[in-house]
Amino acid sequence: MIAKTPPPPYYAVIFTSLRSDGDNGYAAMAHKMDELASKQPGYLGMESVREELGVSVSYWDSLEAIKNWKNNLEHLEAQRHGKEFWYTHYKTRICKVEREYEL
Amino acid sequence: MIAKTPPPPYYAVIFTSLRSDGDNGYAAMAHKMDELASKQPGYLGMESVREELGVSVSYWDSLEAIKNWKNNLEHLEAQRHGKEFWYTHYKTRICKVEREYEL
């Protein structure tokens, strides 16, 4: 649930989105992409929650790992569908995690 | 909903949490802290979603602004309550947003 990431530094991709109406294949593809992401080199974990707003944070060991995932062919196809059918707005922020604390 | 942040670089605090059972004053305090955070110097916006897992991302213009908010007296009191009553686990990650893209 809370991703078990290694000590910083590492990287986070914060994907915040607003969905359009209807499923249109979204749920199945989102599940597939979560599975596929978890198999990519450099993947460290994910935290994902949706109400009206969706916030998904994925964690990676390098900017190169993020770039490779962004350019994965199946993921590129999902991104195209997302822009056309699933999201009215989204924002993707690429971040360097510099420090952390926890309970 | 999706925070209207300025061009990078800026900072993000990713707060991921699991709640304990019962409200115990949580909802009112969470609302109050969101209000109070939004009035702090250097605050840029917030995106917050909760299912079982809660993910709240707040955005700030500097590490100093994050430090000042962390040490705000009312916020310190809320943090103490959080550790004792509201959360079973949480993780706070301090990040530098390096780049972004959007739809």
Q: What is the pLDDT of residues A57-82, one digit of tens each?
A: 999 999 999 999 999 999 999 999 99
Sign, CA dihedral A62-A31-B14-B44, equals positive
A91 contacts B2? CB cut-off 8 A: yes
A100 contacts B91? CB cut-off 8 A: yes
CATH architecture of B10-97: 2-Layer Sandwich (3.30)
Distances in Å between the Cα of A35 and the Cα atoms of A43, A47, B72 are 11, 13, 40
In angstroms, the CA A24 to CA A86 distance is 7
User: Tell me, what's the pLDDT at A22?
Assistant: 92
Residue B46 has pLDDT above 90, yes or no: yes
Cβ-contact B96, A98 below 8 angstroms:
yes
Q: What is the CA radius of gyration of chain A?
A: 14
| Mean pLDDT rounded to a whole number for chain B | 96
Distance, C-alpha A95 to centroid of its chain:
12
Cβ contacts (< 8 Å) between B90 and chain A: which residues?
2, 102-103
Q: What is the pLDDT of residues A17-66, one digit of tens each?
A: 999 999 999 999 999 999 999 999 999 999 999 998 999 999 999 999 99
ipTM of the complex: 0.94
- Contacts of B10 by beta carbon, 8 Å cutoff, 6+ apart: B44, B59, B60, B61, B96, B97
Kindly report the backbone phi and psi dihedral angles of residue A22, in degrees, each rounded to the nearest multiple of 5, phi listed first.
85, 155
Nearest-by-CA chain A residue for B63 = A98
- DSSP annotation of B89 reads E
Per-residue confidence at B103, pLDDT binned at 50, 70, 90?
Answer: confident
Q: What is the pLDDT of residues B50-83, one digit of tens each?
A: 998 999 999 999 999 999 999 999 999 999 999 9
Cβ contacts (< 8 Å) between A5 and chain B: which residues?
93
User: Tell me, what's the pLDDT at B66?
Assistant: 97
Query: What percent of chain B has a predicted confidence (pLDDT) above 90?
Result: 97
Nearest-by-CA chain B residue for A101 = B92
The pTM for the full model equals: 0.95
Nearest-by-CA chain B residue for A4 = B91
